[in-house]
A and B are shown apart, each in its own frame.
Chain A
Amino acid sequence: MNIEMLKEWLNPAYLDTNTIPKMQEAFKESPLKSIRLNHFLNDRSYVKTEISVHKAKAKHAKIADRFSYSDVVIPKQVATFFTSKEFLRLISVITGKKLKRCELSIKKFGHRDYTLLHDSEALKPGLEFFFDINPVWNPAWGGSLVYRDAQEELFRLHPTANALTIVNRKKGMFRFLEYVNVKSGQNVRIVVQGLLS
């Protein structure tokens, strides 16, 4: 692993050799095979990422019975980090899965944006991650990422700035991003999403 590259981006706590086994265990022990790493990037890298993503061009896309959000053109540095061998290696180590590819996208959700369950039905099950860029967020504004199966809601991730969430989405497990309602005002949540294989 190219530690120098990770050092430049990550919160040093995640590079501590004592932290790795804890993350591995937390992922393995969680009933739905997921883990959330708070304060994932170091402050400098988070701010840099936030600024570049906000500056990037975005285009609104909507198929009303499936989704509504803006597709953000991925800034080069962000793409380089989140698809790097080093970053994928770290996820591999935590999850115990061999990874070769990361299909990266950045989506922006403001007032009236959402995705519906319908939209994740077409996705193959597999490992995925979400990295959150947003101001301090009140869950009452909507915008939470909700995982469920045919019977019930499994878990709900509220937008948390600088948190990386890794989920092993199994067959029959779907997700949607709750409608962002009028209470959110001008606030937007941005999600860096990676489908891993």
Chain B
Amino acid sequence: MELTEWVSRQVLDNKNALKKQFKGAKPFKHILLTNFLKADKHKAVEAALMKEQFYRKEADLFKLKQTHELKNTQSPVLLAFYQLMTSANLRKFVTELTGIKLKGGIDMSGACYEFADYLLCHDDQLSGRRIAYIYYLSEGFIEKDGGSLVLFNTDKGKPGSVAKVYPPKANSLMLFEVSTKSFHEVTESLSDKKRYTITGWLH
């Protein structure tokens, strides 16, 4: 799959600058690629995700709605997005950007946070996961709506103070390295706006 078909020039042509940003990011290696997809592709993926079936999930750590794994989706657009994310070209691009070698496996599902939904602090560590990604679809979020991605500083191996807060920004792709330091959370959704994302891990 040709990356230029899906990914914006702004991202593809800026690899060296983005690479520096990823490497130097605090509190752990991460980057938010804004305007990740071409505008028409972002709109198509957003529309397709809205039509997927979501299931409510609850545990000590979270309350949210999730789709099944998107590799099994019936939607041609979402399947194409899945193929983009698993393609050798994208893997090569991400490895060049992050310096992290990838074996090629991927997890991918859609998530929807409604009023009072949340995902509390954890580090994402699980065998095989190298890079966590979040692709943001919903427009019009500001910090007071909640649903922000928070990255924590670590203090003696434990999550400490808040280092970064990223409110959802439509058509952005967040990438961060999964490690013993990658403590993060999604703050409680405080408005009626639904926060749609496609998330998972690159192996």
Contacts and interface: CB of A to CB of B under 8 A. Distances in A.
B152 A116 contact: no
Interface string B23-36: 00000000000000
Interface in A84-139: 112, 114-118
A171 interface: no
A179 B121 contact: no
What are the 7 closest A-B residue pairs judged by CB atoms, nearest first? A64-B121, A176-B60, A64-B159, A181-B116, A65-B121, A117-B60, A116-B60
Interface in A138-197: 146, 176, 178-179, 181-183
Interface of B: 60-61, 63, 115-116, 118, 120-123, 152, 158-159, 183, 185, 188, 190
A56 interface: no
Contacts of B116: 181-183
A150 B160 CA distance: 28
A114 B158 contact: no
Given A117-B60, A181-B116, A182-B116, A65 B190 contact: no
Nearest to A120: B60
Contact of A179 (B120, B152, B183, B190): B120
A64 B183 contact: yes
Contacts, number: 41
Contacts of B190: 182
B36 to A, nearest CB: 28
Contacts of B61: 116
Contacts of A66: 158
A3 interface: no
A1 interface: no
A64 B185 contact: yes
Contact of B159 (A63, A117, A183): A63
B188 A112 contact: yes
A63 B160 CA distance: 7
Contacts of A181: 63, 116, 118, 188
A181 to B, nearest CB: 4
Nearest to B121: A64
Nearest to A176: B60
User: Which one of A63, A178, A182, A183 has the highest number of Cβ atoms from chain B below 10 Å of its Cβ?
Assistant: A182
B60 A65 contact: no
8 contacts: A64-B121, A65-B123, A65-B183, A116-B60, A116-B61, A179-B118, A182-B115, A182-B116
Contacts of B183: 64-65
Given A63-B159, A178-B60, 15 more contacts: A64-B120, A64-B121, A64-B152, A65-B123, A65-B159, A114-B60, A114-B120, A116-B60, A116-B120, A146-B60, A179-B63, A179-B118, A181-B63, A182-B116, A182-B188
A114 B116 CA distance: 14
B70 to A, nearest CB: 27
Contacts of A64: 120-121, 152, 159, 183, 185
